[in-house]
Each structure stands twice: as structure tokens, then as C-alpha cells.
Amino acid sequence: MVPRLDVRRLNAEKKYSGELSFSFDPEEDPVEIPYVSLVSPIRAELGYEILEDDSVEIRGTIGFTLKGLCSRCLKEMEKRFSEEVEGYFVPDGDGREDYAYTNGVIDLREFLRDAVLFSMPAGLYCSETCTAPEYKED
């Protein structure tokens, strides 16, 4: 379940920063790797900070597990990912910012959908030797 961030109420309560931890199922399957699927749910550990102009910074990590066949050797495998994410929300935005919110409440679903898509690896690899050639560091 994705919580909503009630900026107006948090401001009234002077809770200008805080933590959000929750699990959620993506609305659409974000995995495009063949023979690989997401093990639901996705875990989000986020911190928020409300700035003086009521814009809100959110940063933290999302964690998820992918399960399926190694993209190179087709071995069955499962791997846990933890990726840093961040977003910037502006009240009644003008379209230039990352995300706009209205009526004092932030709906995190669009941000999370983007964050999950950006965090998805290009392939799933079972070991160091099973790395995609273009991602080799040496």
C-alpha cells in the first residue's frame, strides 16, 4: 500500500521531515528482462523533507528481488537489489520540476513507478563471470 504524504497536515504538526517505510506491488510489471520476474512486494525506505516553499524532497532506497534465469547462462537464480532513489515535488508546479502535487497532498505512485523503472537492471546475472560485456569494468 502506497501512503500519501499530507504536506499540509505535516506542516501543521511541524513534522517537516520524517521517514516512510512501506511495501507495495507495482501497478504494472516493470521487468523487461526475458525469463525474469519480480518477486512482490517492493520495499521502500524513504525520507522526506518539506522545504520552506513547501516543495518536498524525497530520497531513500527501494529494494526488490528478481527471480528467473541468468541472462547469460540461463541458470535459475534469485537476486536482491537495493537502489537509491530521489524525487523533488513542487506544489502546483509549472511543469519544469520532477513532480507536481496539488491540494497539499503528494501521491507517491508516479514517483515510485519511475523509480522502479529506473532501478531495473538491464539483465540478471548469476555471477561475476556472467556479466553483460558492455558493463564490464576492466
Q: Which is nearer to Zn ion, 2 or 130 (CB)?
A: 130
Q: How far is the CB of 129 from Zn ion (least distance, A)?
A: 8
Residues that bind Zn ion (CB under 5 A): 70, 72-73, 75, 126, 130
Non-local CB neighbours of 91 within 8 Å, separated by 6+ positions: 7, 54, 55, 100, 101, 102, 104
Q: How far is the CB of 71 from Zn ion (least distance, A)?
A: 8
Q: Which is nearer to Zn ion, 42 or 70 (CB)?
A: 70
Q: How far is the CB of 34 from Zn ion (least distance, A)?
A: 14
CA triple 86-100-16, angle to 5 deg: 60
Q: Confirm if 32 and 118 have CB atoms less than 8 A apart.
A: no
For the chain, give the number of residues: 138
Q: How far apart are CA 49 and CA 88, in angstroms?
A: 10
Q: Which is nearer to Zn ion, 73 or 132 (CB)?
A: 73
Q: What is the CA radius of gyration of the chain?
A: 18
Q: Which is nearer to Zn ion, 9 or 75 (CB)?
A: 75
Q: How far is the CB of 68 from Zn ion (least distance, A)?
A: 11
How far CA 87 is from CA of 11, 24, 27, 56, in Å, comes to 19, 18, 19, 8
Q: How far is the CB of 67 from Zn ion (least distance, A)?
A: 14
Q: Which is nearer to Zn ion, 51 or 73 (CB)?
A: 73
